[in-house]
């Protein structure tokens, strides 16, 4: 009888243990499934809220971005006439360049800008130079100073005065020089520097603007479509 009781006790304990193990395994499986489900839902949320791939913005984070359509404007040229982009009926695009008289970087690029216009205007892409600086802050950048500089250098392109400083903020220009290449529909296709060496023209290895225009001529998108503009900050009166 004693042996039978012992056997029955052992059998009951064994059954209990196996039952407990089975429950534990079931709990573990359920926990694994729950963790897996939570991880999947978390990944879905992360994907939904992850930043999408965007065309790069200009550094200021304001103004036009590549792919935006620029608004036309009308500014006074050094010859006293009012000029807008739509006046240039035969243009296939525009090399809108914010530049000025006094900035050493702008001066370094004057001859290159002349060469760029002479080569690219023939292809339908004229340089449209704009002085965005406030002459009250930088007297050298007065309209009279622009006229004098244009005559001295024999600029073959228009040199416009953003006298109310209304145009450069629309573009998001921050430096002189700062280029915005527009196509015929005035859509921004490239933003940034003219080439990859401001100080030494002989050391230039990449002509960003020229390459961007060549890409457009082939029906392609410029690559790169954005570079960092190197130059002087735009001068505006502090409020």
Mean pLDDT by runs of 10 across the 239 residues of the chain is: 42 44 45 45 35 34 92 98 96 98 98 98 98 98 98 98 97 98 98 97 98 98 98 90
Instruction: Dig out the tokens for 103 from the structure.
Output: 């900035």
pLDDT value of residue 24: 42
User: Does residue 177 share a domain with residue 127?
Assistant: yes
CA distance 143 to 134: 10
Residue 62 within any structural domain of the chain: no
What residues does 27 pair with on adjacent strands? none
Residue 61 within any structural domain of the chain: no
pLDDT value of residue 214: 98
> Among 35, 50, 65, which residue terminates a domain?
50
CA distance 224 to 220: 12
User: Does residue 109 share a domain with residue 28?
Assistant: no
User: Does residue 195 share a domain with residue 90?
Assistant: yes
Q: Say how many domains are in the chain.
A: 2
pLDDT value of residue 40: 47
pLDDT value of residue 185: 97
Q: Which of 150, 114, 117 is nearest to 131 (CA)?
A: 150
Residue 85 within any structural domain of the chain: yes
Residue 34 within any structural domain of the chain: yes
> Which residue's entry shows tokens 């005065």?
161
User: Does residue 128 share a domain with residue 45?
Assistant: no
User: Does residue 32 share a domain with residue 82?
Assistant: no
Residue 108 within any structural domain of the chain: yes
User: Does residue 95 share a domain with residue 36?
Assistant: no
User: Does residue 33 share a domain with residue 86?
Assistant: no
Under 8 Å between Cβ of 212 and 222: yes
pLDDT value of residue 61: 52
User: Does residue 105 share a domain with residue 32?
Assistant: no
Residue 3 within any structural domain of the chain: yes
Residue 69 within any structural domain of the chain: no
Q: Which domain holds residue 9?
A: 1-50
Residue 100 within any structural domain of the chain: yes
User: Does residue 79 share a domain with residue 42?
Assistant: no
What residues does 128 pair with on adjacent strands? 96, 158
């Amino acid at each position: 009888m004693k042996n039978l009781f012992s056997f029955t006790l052992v059998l009951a304990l064994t059954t209990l243990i196996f039952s407990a193990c089975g429950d534990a395994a079931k709990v573990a499986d359920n926990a694994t499934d729950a963790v897996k489900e939570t991880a999947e839902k978390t990944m879905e949320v992360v994907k939904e809220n992850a930043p999408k791939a965007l065309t790069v913005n200009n550094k200021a984070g304001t103004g036009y971005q590549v792919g935006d359509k620029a608004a036309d404007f009308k500014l006074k040229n050094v010859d006293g006439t009012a000029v807008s982009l739509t006046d240039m009926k035969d243009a296939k695009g525009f090399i809108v360049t914010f530049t000025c008289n006094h900035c050493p970087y702008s001066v370094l690029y004057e001859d290159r800008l002349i060469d760029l216009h002479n080569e690219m205007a023939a292809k339908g892409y004229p340089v449209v130079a704009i002085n965005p600086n406030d002459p009250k802050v930088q007297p050298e950048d007065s309209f009279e100073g622009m006229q004098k500089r244009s005559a001295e250098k024999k600029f073959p392109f228009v040199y416009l005065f953003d006298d109310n400083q209304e145009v450069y903020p629309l573009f998001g220009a921050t430096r002189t020089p700062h280029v915005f290449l527009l196509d015929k529909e005035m859509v921004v296709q490239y933003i940034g520097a003219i080439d990859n060496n401001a100080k030494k023209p002989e050391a230039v290895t990449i002509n960003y603007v020229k390459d961007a225009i060549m890409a457009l001529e082939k029906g392609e998108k410029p690559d790169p479509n954005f570079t960092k503009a190197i130059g002087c900050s735009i001068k505006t009166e502090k409020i």
